[in-house]
C-alpha cells in the first residue's frame, strides 16, 4: 500500500470522492485504505462487525456509472451500512440472535440507491437488537464503545456507524432514527447525523410502509459530507409510498450559499425536561456562537409538553404491530427491554392509541406555528453527555430519575414526533474531552437550510476534526 493510500482514511468523504472523480486514486485504493483502517480499529471499537471485501471488489469491477454526472455520485467510495438494513448476500442480523445467520436475498431500496450512485458497500455496523437501546450492544457481536474514550458509550442505536466515522473506519455511513438513534450517537462521537423528513430517503420493503416515525438518514464527519451523502440517498422510489423527489437544487449547491440573518429559537430543556449541567453549558455556548454569527436568538421553543407520553405510546404500538409475530415465536430469545416494549404495545387500549395520535397532531400544529415566526430551533441532541459503557442508561439527570431507557431520549424523541428534519452537529467538548452536540431543527422539507446553516455553524465554531481520532 502506498503512503497516499495510508493517508486516505484521514480525508473527508468529499475530498476522497474528488480524488476518485479526477482519477487521482482508484476505487481499489480507497477500498484498500478503508479495509486497513477497519482492521486497525476493530479490536478497540468493534464498529464494523461484518466486512464484505469480496462483494466490494466485485462491485468495483461492475461499478454502476449511469448516474456519474449526478451531484451525489460517489465514484467508487466505500460506504458502511447499519446492520438493521438488508444488503443482498451479506450477513444481516438486526443485532438479534434470532437472525444471527440471516443472509438476505435482496437489498433494501436505500442500499440499491447507494450502489446505483457509485457507492461500494464495504460492511455492516453494529446496532442493539432491532435498534432498541441506549447502548450499541447485542449478544451477537458485543458492544461498540466511544472511540474518544473506550470506557464511555457511543450511544444507540447507530453507535456502530458513529464510532466508525469518528475513528476513520468509514467515510460515510447510514443510520436510522426513531427517538434519537442517529442524533444521539452523532453527538456522543463528535460526528454529524441528519434525521430527514420522512420520504426524503426511500427505504423498504417494510411491514409498516406508512410509518414516518422511524427514518433512515446519512451520517458523516462533516456537514459538507452530509450534503454529499444526502444527494446520494435522496430521490423518488415509487416502491416507498412516502418517497418524494429530490429538490431541483442539490444539497451540495445549497451548502455553500450565504446564510442570511435568521430568527432562531433555542432551549436546553423545552421547559419541562431534565438537562445535565454540561449540556446546559453547551447550549449557552451555542447561543453565544449564534449571536456572534449575527443571528437573532431567543430563548423559546414550541410547546412539546405532551411529547413523552405520546412518544412512549406510539413507539410501543409501532413495535408491537411490527414485531407481533416475531414476539410470539421468539420472545424468550429477545432482550428484556425489547420484550417489555412489545408487551406494553400489545396491552394498549384503543383509547390510549387514539389519544396519542391526536396529541401528535397537536405537536405538529405547535411546531407549524413556531416556524411561522422562527427559521430554526436549536436544542441539545441529548440531555446528557456520553455516559459509562457499563451503565444501561442514565438513571438520573438533575433531579429527574428514569425507570426506562426511552425517557432520557426525549430531547430528540420529541422532535421525531413533529416530523421535522433535525441535524446533529458537534458543539463543545466536556472537561474529559468527550463531545457534546446540538440538534438544529427546521420545518419539514427544509433540509437545504439545515445543511447550509449547519455547515456555516461548523466552520464558524471550528469544533470538528476532519482528521479522525485514534481510539483510546
**Which residues form the catalytic set?**
82, 157, 181
The Cα–Cα gap between 382 and 406 comes to: 12
The b/e string for 248-280 (b: 16+ C-beta within 10 A; e otherwise) is eebbbebbeeebeebebbbbbbbeebbbbebbe
Encode 396-452 in three state secondary structure. Answer: EECCEECCCCCHHHHHHHHHHHHCCCEEEEEEEECCCCCEEEEEEECCCCCHHHHHH
Cell of 315: 413507539
DSSP SS3 for 106: coil
Residues in the chain: 472
Contact 451, 434 (CB under 8 A): no
50: left (phi over 0), alpha (psi -120 to 50) or beta: beta
Q: How far is CA 453 from CA 230, 271, 284, in A?
A: 15, 25, 18
CA angle, 425 then 426 then 428, to 5°: 145
Beta bridge partner(s), residue 429: 435
Question: Alpha helix locations (H) across 193-236?
Answer: 223-233
The Cα–Cα gap between 218 and 192 comes to: 8
Amino acid at each position: 500500500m502506498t503512503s497516499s493510500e495510508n493517508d486516505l482514511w484521514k480525508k473527508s468523504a468529499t475530498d476522497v470522492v474528488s480524488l476518485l472523480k479526477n482519477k487521482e486514486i482508484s476505487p481499489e485504493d480507497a477500498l484498500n485504505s478503508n479495509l486497513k483502517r477497519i482492521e486497525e480499529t476493530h479490536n478497540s471499537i468493534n464498529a464494523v462487525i461484518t466486512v464484505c471485501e469480496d462483494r466490494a471488489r466485485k462491485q468495483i469491477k461492475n461499478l454502476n456509472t449511469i448516474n456519474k454526472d449526478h451531484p451525489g455520485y460517489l465514484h467508487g467510495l466505500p460506504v458502511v451500512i447499519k446492520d438493521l438494513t438488508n444488503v443482498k448476500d451479506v450477513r444481516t442480523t438486526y443485532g438479534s440472535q434470532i437472525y444471527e445467520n440471516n443472509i438476505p436475498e435482496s437489498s433494501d431500496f436505500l442500499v440499491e440507491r447507494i450502489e446505483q450512485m457509485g457507492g461500494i458497500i464495504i460492511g455492516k455496523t453494529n446496532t442493539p437488537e432491532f435498534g432498541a437501546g441506549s447502548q450499541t450492544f447485542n449478544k451477537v457481536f458485543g458492544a461498540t464503545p466511544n472511540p474518544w474514550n473506550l470506557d464511555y458509550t457511543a450511544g444507540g442505536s447507530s453507535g456502530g456507524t458513529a464510532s466508525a466515522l469518528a475513528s476513520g473506519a468509514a467515510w460515510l455511513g447510514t443510520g436510522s432514527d426513531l427517538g434519537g438513534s442517529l442524533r444521539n450517537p452523532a453527538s456522543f462521537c463528535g460526528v454529524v447525523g441528519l434525521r430527514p423528513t420522512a420520504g426524503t430517503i426511500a427505504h423498504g420493503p417494510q411491514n409498516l410502509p406508512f410509518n414516518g416515525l422511524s427514518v433512515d438518514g446519512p451520517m458523516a464527519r462533516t456537514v459538507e459530507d452530509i450534503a454529499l451523502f444526502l444527494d446520494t440517498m435522496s430521490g423518488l422510489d415509487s416502491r416507498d409510498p412516502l418517497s418524494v423527489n429530490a429538490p431541483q437544487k442539490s444539497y451540495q449547491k445549497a451548502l455553500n450559499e450565504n446564510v442570511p440573518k435568521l430568527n432562531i429559537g433555542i432551549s436546553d430543556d423545552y421547559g419541562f425536561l431534565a438537562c445535565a449541567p454540561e449540556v446546559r453549558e453547551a447550549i449557552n455556548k451555542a447561543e453565544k456562537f449564534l449571536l456572534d454569527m449575527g443571528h437573532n436568538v431567543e430563548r423559546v421553543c414550541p410547546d412539546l409538553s405532551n411529547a413523552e407520553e405520546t412518544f412512549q405510546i406510539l413507539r410501543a404500538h409501532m413495535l408491537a404491530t411490527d414485531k407481533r409475530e416475531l414476539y410470539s415465536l421468539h420472545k424468550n430469545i429477545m432482550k428484556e427491554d425489547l420484550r417489555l416494549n412489545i408487551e406494553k404495545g400489545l396491552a394498549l387500549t384503543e383509547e390510549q392509541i387514539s389519544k396519542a395520535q391526536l396529541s401528535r397532531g397537536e405537536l405538529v400544529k405547535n411546531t407549524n406555528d413556531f416556524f411561522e415566526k422562527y427559521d430554526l430551533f436549536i436544542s441539545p441532541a441529548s440531555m446528557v453527555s456520553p455516559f459509562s459503557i457499563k451503565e444501561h442508561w442514565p438513571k438520573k439527570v438533575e433531579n429527574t430519575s428514569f425507570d426506562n431507557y426511552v425517557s432520557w431520549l426525549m430531547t430528540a424523541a420529541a422532535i421525531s414526533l413533529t416530523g421535522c428534519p433535525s441535524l446533529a452537529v458537534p458543539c463543545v467538548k466536556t472537561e474529559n474531552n468527550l463531545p457534546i452536540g446540538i440538534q438544529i431543527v427546521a420545518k419539514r422539507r427544509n433540509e437545504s437550510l439545515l445543511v447550509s446553516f449547519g455547515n456555516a455553524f461548523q466552520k464558524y465554531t471550528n469544533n470538528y476534526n476532519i482528521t479522525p481520532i485514534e481510539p483510546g
